[in-house]
Amino acid sequence: MTAMLSGWGCEVFTATSIGEDKSILRNMDGDPDAILAGYQLLLKPVKPAALRALLARTFQANRAARLALHEKHSYSFNEQKGN
């Protein structure tokens, strides 16, 4: 799974316990775009194409939300400066 996700250009962090998960999340710069947890426990195998499509949609939505938030803060800041 790590090799496949890395091959798609994802930055992958792996953990084998909740403690490791928490440590990784505490040391990240910002929030992760997605968390894939317990994938080996799924009842049905996830097809790589379906997983890739889901991750792509998630990443695009997160980027769009961050961009909108940045633009909103930038606009608000410029209004306060009188621009």
Give the number of other CB atoms < 10 A from CB of residue 1. Answer: 13
pLDDT given at position 61 = 85
Weakly modelled stretches of the chain, pLDDT under 50: none
Range of the domain at 71: 2-81
pTM: 0.52
In the chain, the number of structural domains is 1
How do residues 21-41 score in pLDDT, each as one tens digit?
Answer: 889 999 998 888 888 877 665
Short-list 78, 83, 31, 21, CA closest to 58: 31
